C-alpha cells in the first residue's frame, strides 16, 4: 500500500485506476526520407485521420451537453488542417528538405503559430494555440504514438497531472474522471476551482511524492483530507467506504434544508448564491438551492472557446443563465484575465510578473472593441432576468465611472436601434486588493454593491501566490484577511451598500459566525457547498457570532457591528 498526503481541494471519496496525464510530447526526430510521394501520401492519410478524430470529438462533446458554440472549436481546428497556405508550406518543405512528414508538420505548425502570435491580436494568438494543437495531433498520428490525452482515459479514472491549465480543466469529463490529483497547484488555483464546480474530488500539492504514483493501479482518494492511497489494504478500503456512506447520508439530511431561509437563530439573514464559470452550471446551482449567481466568471467563455467570442455567442450564454435564474440576481463579471488566465493576452502573460501586470479592467478599457462587445451582449440579455455587471480587480474609482459611462452609452445605443433593454443594470465592484479595501468607502459610492474576492485579496495582502502549492485555503483565515473583509463590509455599510463575499473562503463553515457577525449580506460559492453553509448559519446564535468575531479577528473582545447590536437571540 502506498499512502500520500496532499491538500484536499474538493471533498468526496473516489476509487479508480490511476491515469497520468502527460501533455508534453517529445519533438519528432529529424529523419530523412527517400520516397517523397509515399511521404506525402502518409501526410494526407494522417491529416484525414485527425479530421475524423476531430469530428468524433465534436459529436461526443455535443452529446455530453457542450454548447454548440463551444463545440465549434473542433471545426475551427479542422479548418486549419484544410488551410491551403499551411498545407502548401508543409508539402513544399517535405519536397525541399526531404525530411519526414512529422518533423515538417511540427516545425511548420510552430512557425505558423509564432507568426499568428506575433501579430499582437488576442484572437489570432488564441488561434495559434488551436493550430499548434491540431498540428500536434497530426504529428502524434504520424509517429504512431497517440500520446496521453483525456481521450485515452480508462473508465472512472483517477486523473493525475502535474497541473492543468484552466482550459484543460474545462475539458474534464465527470463521467470519466472520478478524482483529480495534482503535483502542484493549490485549492484556489483555477484548475481546482473548476474541478470543484464539476464536483470532482480533488487533491492538490502532492509534491515529489506524486512521482511514486503508478499508472493503471487502483487508487483511492479522499478529497476532504487530501489522502491518496494506491493498492489500499482492507482497513483503508473499509474506512473510506464508511466515509462514502456517511457523506451520502449527510447529503440526504442537507436536502431537507432546500427552500428554507438562510437565517441565524438571532435573525441575521444571509443570501447564499453560486459561483459559476459556464452557463450550464446555472441549472445545477438551482438544484443546490442558490438564491442567485453571485459570480459568473466570464473569462472561461473566452478560454474554452479558444478565441474571441462574438456578441451573439456571449448574448446566448448570458440569456441562458438569466432565463434559468428567473428573478434571482445574476452578477456577471467582466472577463478577468489575471494570474494563470493571463495567457489569453500575450501583452500580460509576457510581463515579468503577470499577477502584478496590467489589471483586467485597464486591459478592457484599452481594448474598447472587446469591452463594447461584452457590454452589448450583456445589455441585450438584460431583459431576460435580473442582471448585474461585476467589475474585476478594481483599484481606481475613475475606471468604475468610465465603465458605467460605457454601459449607459451602450444601453442608449441599443434603445436607438429599437431593442428592448432593462431600465436599470446594477454595477458591482470587486474588492480584491489592499488598495480596494482601504478605499472601500469611495468605491462603494460608485457602486450598487461590493463583492469581496478573497482569493486574490489574500494573495496581495499576504504576498502569497494563489497558484502555489504551499498555500492552503486556510490562508484566507489569516487575521489580516479577515480584518480586511470586516473593514470593507463596515465601509460599504456606512454608505448603505450591500456586500457579497465570493472567494473560496465563502464556503468555509468555520467562518459562518464571522460572516454573520460582520453582517455580510451575501456569500457566493461553489454550488455544492450552499446547503452546508445554510445548515451552519441556521445553527448560529448572537453569542456564537461574538465568539467567532473574537477568534477570527484575533481580538480579546469582539468589536461592535450593527448587526450584533441590533439583534439578540430570541
- Least Å distance between CB 14 and ligand PEP? 25
Binding residues with ligand PEP: total (CB under 6 A): 10
Nearer of residues 39 and 299 to ligand PEP, judged by Cβ: 299
Q: Which of 12, 185, 226, 453 binds Mg ion (CB under 5 A)?
A: 453
- Least Å distance between CB 156 and Mg ion? 33
- Least Å distance between CB 351 and ligand PEP? 17
Residue 297 interacts with ligand PEP (CB under 6 A): yes or no: yes
Residue 470's nearest CA partner among 212, 186, 47, 261 is 186
Q: Which stretch binds Mg ion (CB under 5 A): 10-18, 445-453, 467-475, 508-516?
A: 445-453
- Least Å distance between CB 455 and ligand PEP? 3
Give the side-chain half-sphere CA count within 13 A for 448: 13
Q: How many helices (H) and strands (E) does the chain have?
A: 23, 16
Task: Return the one option of ligand PEP, Mg ion, none that residue 454 interacts with (CB less than 5 to 8 A, by type).
Answer: ligand PEP
Angle, nearest 10°, between helix axes 122-142 and 36-63? Answer: 120
Residue 336 interacts with ligand PEP (CB under 6 A): yes or no: yes
Q: Which of 502, 516, 531, 542 binds ligand PEP (CB under 6 A)?
A: 502
Q: Strands 2-5, 227-230: parallel, antiparallel or unpaired by DSSP?
A: antiparallel
- Least Å distance between CB 295 and ligand PEP? 6
Q: Which of 454, 491, 526, 528 binds ligand PEP (CB under 6 A)?
A: 454
- Cα separation, 10 vs 197, whole angstroms: 9
Instruction: List Cα–Cα distances, 222 to 10, 176, 201, in angstroms.
Output: 9, 18, 7
- Cα separation, 62 vs 55, whole angstroms: 11
Q: Which stretch binds ligand PEP (CB under 6 A): 29-37, 163-171, 194-202, 453-461?
A: 453-461
Q: Which of 53, 340, 456, 544 binds ligand PEP (CB under 6 A)?
A: 456
Of 375-434, binders to ligand PEP (CB under 6 A) are 432
Strands of 13-21's sheet in order across: 2-5, 227-230, 218-222, 13-21, 157-161, 177-182, 202-204, 7-10
- Cα separation, 392 vs 341, whole angstroms: 13
Give backbone dihedrals phi and psi of 497, rounded to 5 degrees, phi first: -110, 130
- The helix (run of H) or strand (run of E) holding residue 286 is helix 281-287
- Least Å distance between CB 432 and Mg ion? 5
162 touches 168 (CB < 8 A):
no
- Cα separation, 397 vs 429, whole angstroms: 10
Name the catalytic one among 178, 502, 505, 545. 502
Residue 263: Cβ within 10 Å count: 15
Task: Return the one option of ligand PEP, Mg ion, none that residue 386 interacts with (CB less than 5 to 8 A, by type).
Answer: none
- The helix (run of H) or strand (run of E) holding residue 196 is helix 190-197
Cell numbers standing for residue 252: 440526504
Name the catalytic one among 190, 266, 288, 493. 190
- Least Å distance between CB 432 and ligand PEP? 5
Cell numbers standing for residue 266: 438571532
Residue 109 interacts with ligand PEP (CB under 6 A): yes or no: no
Task: Return the one option of Mg ion, ligand PEP, none that residue 521 interacts with (CB less than 5 to 8 A, by type).
Answer: none
Residue 166 interacts with Mg ion (CB under 5 A): yes or no: no
Give backbone dihedrals phi and psi of 434, rounded to 5 degrees, phi first: -55, -35
Residue 456 interacts with Mg ion (CB under 5 A): yes or no: yes
Nearer of residues 227 and 272 to ligand PEP, judged by Cβ: 272
Residue 335 interacts with ligand PEP (CB under 6 A): yes or no: no
- Cα separation, 346 vs 365, whole angstroms: 16
Find cell 472577463 and name the residue: 335
The 413-442 site mask, x for binding Mg ion (CB under 5 A), equals -------------------x----------
Residue nearest to ligand PEP (CB): 453
Task: Return the one option of Mg ion, ligand PEP, none that residue 502 interacts with (CB less than 5 to 8 A, by type).
Answer: ligand PEP
272 touches 525 (CB < 8 A):
yes
Nearer of residues 71 and 438 to Mg ion, judged by Cβ: 438
Q: Which stretch binds ligand PEP (CB under 6 A): 138-146, 208-216, 454-462, 513-521?
A: 454-462
Residue 453 interacts with ligand PEP (CB under 6 A): yes or no: yes
Q: Which of 12, 357, 498, 503 binds ligand PEP (CB under 6 A)?
A: 503
Cell numbers standing for residue 470: 504551499
Task: Return the one option of Mg ion, ligand PEP, none that residue 433 interacts with (CB less than 5 to 8 A, by type).
Answer: none
Task: Mark whether 502 is an active-site residue.
Answer: yes
Find cell 490562508 and name the residue: 475
- Cα separation, 196 vs 11, whole angstroms: 8
Find cell 431593442 and name the residue: 419
Query: End-to-end distance of the chain based on CA atoms, in angstroms?
Result: 54
- Least Å distance between CB 430 and Mg ion? 7
Task: Mark whether 545 is an active-site residue.
Answer: no
Task: Return the one option of ligand PEP, Mg ion, none that residue 189 interacts with (CB less than 5 to 8 A, by type).
Answer: none
Nearer of residues 101 and 330 to ligand PEP, judged by Cβ: 330
Q: What angle do CA 422, 426, 429 make, to 5 degrees?
A: 150
- Cα separation, 263 vs 291, whole angstroms: 13
Residue 261: Cβ within 10 Å count: 13
Of 135-194, binders to ligand PEP (CB under 6 A) are none
Task: Return the one option of Mg ion, ligand PEP, none that residue 297 interacts with (CB less than 5 to 8 A, by type).
Answer: ligand PEP
Q: Which of 386, 455, 469, 526 binds ligand PEP (CB under 6 A)?
A: 455
Catalog residues that contact Mg ion under the rule CB under 5 A: 432, 453, 456
| Residues labelled catalytic | 190, 502
Catalog residues that contact ligand PEP under the rule CB under 6 A: 295, 297, 336, 432, 453-456, 502-503
Amino acid at each position: 500500500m502506498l499512502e500520500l498526503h496532499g491538500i484536499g481541494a474538493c471533498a468526496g471519496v473516489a476509487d479508480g485506476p490511476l491515469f497520468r496525464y502527460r501533455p508534453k510530447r517529445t519533438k519528432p526526430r529529424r529523419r530523412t526520407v527517400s520516397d517523397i510521394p509515399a511521404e506525402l501520401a502518409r501526410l494526407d492519410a494522417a491529416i484525414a485521420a485527425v479530421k475524423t478524430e476531430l469530428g468524433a470529438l465534436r459529436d461526443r462533446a455535443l452529446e455530453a451537453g457542450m454548447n454548440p458554440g463551444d463545440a465549434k472549436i473542433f471545426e475551427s481546428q479542422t479548418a486549419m488542417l484544410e488551410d491551403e497556405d499551411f498545407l502548401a508550406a508543409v508539402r513544399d518543405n517535405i519536397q525541399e528538405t526531404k525530411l519526414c512528414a512529422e518533423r515538417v508538420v511540427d516545425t511548420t505548425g510552430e512557425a505558423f503559430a509564432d507568426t499568428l502570435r506575433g501579430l499582437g491580436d488576442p484572437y489570432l494568438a488564441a488561434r495559434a494555440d488551436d493550430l499548434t494543437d491540431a498540428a500536434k495531433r497530426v504529428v502524434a498520428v504520424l509517429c504512431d504514438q497517440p500520446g496521453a490525452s483525456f481521450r485515452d482515459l480508462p473508465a472512472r479514472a483517477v486523473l493525475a497531472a502535474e497541473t492543468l491549465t484552466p482550459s484543460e480543466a474545462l475539458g474534464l469529463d465527470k463521467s470519466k474522471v472520478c478524482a483529480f490529483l495534482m503535483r502542484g497547484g493549490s485549492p484556489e488555483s483555477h484548475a481546482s476551482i473548476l474541478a470543484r464546480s464539476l464536483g470532482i474530488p480533488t487533491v492538490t500539492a502532492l509534491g515529489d511524492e506524486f512521482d511514486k504514483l503508478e499508472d493503471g493501479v487502483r487508487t483511492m482518494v479522499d478529497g476532504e483530507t487530501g489522502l491518496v492511497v494506491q493498492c489500499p489494504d482492507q482497513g483503508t478500503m473499509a474506512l473510506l467506504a464508511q466515509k462514502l456512506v456517511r457523506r451520502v447520508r449527510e447529503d440526504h439530511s442537507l436536502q431537507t434544508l432546500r427552500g428554507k431561509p438562510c437565517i441565524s437563530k438571532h435573525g441575521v439573514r444571509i443570501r447564499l448564491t453560486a459561483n459559476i464559470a459556464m452557463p450550464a452550471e446555472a441549472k445545477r446551482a438551482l438544484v443546490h438551492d442558490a438564491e442567485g449567481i453571485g459570480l459568473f466568471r466570464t473569462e472561461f467563455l473566452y478560454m474554452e472557446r479558444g478565441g474571441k467570442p462574438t456578441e451573439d455567442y456571449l448574448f446566448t450564454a448570458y440569456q441562458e443563465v438569466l432565463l434559468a435564474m428567473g428573478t434571482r440576481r445574476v452578477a456577471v463579471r467582466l472577463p478577468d484575465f489575471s494570474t494563470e488566465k493571463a495567457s489569453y493576452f500575450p501583452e500580460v502573460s509576457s510581463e515579468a510578473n503577470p499577477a502584478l501586470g496590467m489589471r483586467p479592467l485597464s486591459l478592457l478599457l484599452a481594448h474598447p472593441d472587446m469591452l463594447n462587445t461584452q457590454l452589448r451582449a450583456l445589455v441585450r440579455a438584460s431583459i431576460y432576468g435580473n442582471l448585474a455587471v461585476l467589475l474585476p480587480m478594481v483599484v481606481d474609482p475613475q475606471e468604475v465611472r468610465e465603465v458605467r459611462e460605457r454601459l449607459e452609452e451602450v444601453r442608449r445605443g441599443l434603445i436607438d436601434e429599437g431593442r428592448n433593454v432593462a431600465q436599470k443594470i446594477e454595477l458591482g465592484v470587486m474588492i480584491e486588493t489592499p488598495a480596494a479595501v482601504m478605499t472601500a468607502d469611495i468605491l462603494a459610492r460608485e457602486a450598487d454593491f461590493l463583492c469581496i474576492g478573497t482569493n486574490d485579496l489574500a494573495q496581495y495582502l499576504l504576498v502569497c501566490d494563489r497558484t502555489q502549492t504551499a498555500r492552503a485555503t486556510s490562508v484566507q483565515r489569516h487575521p489580516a484577511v479577515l480584518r480586511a473583509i470586516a473593514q470593507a463590509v463596515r465601509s460599504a455599510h456606512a454608505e448603505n451598500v450591500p456586500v457579497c463575499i465570493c472567494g473560496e473562503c465563502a464556503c468555509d463553515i468555520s467562518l459562518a459566525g464571522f460572516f454573520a457577525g460582520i453582517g455580510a449580506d451575501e456569500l457566493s460559492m461553489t454550488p455544492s457547498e450552499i446547503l452546508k453553509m445554510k445548515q451552519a448559519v441556521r445553527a448560529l446564535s448572537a453569542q456564537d457570532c461574538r465568539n467567532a468575531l473574537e477568534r477570527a479577528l484575533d481580538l480579546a473582545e469582539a468589536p461592535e457591528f450593527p448587526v450584533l447590536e441590533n439583534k439578540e437571540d430570541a
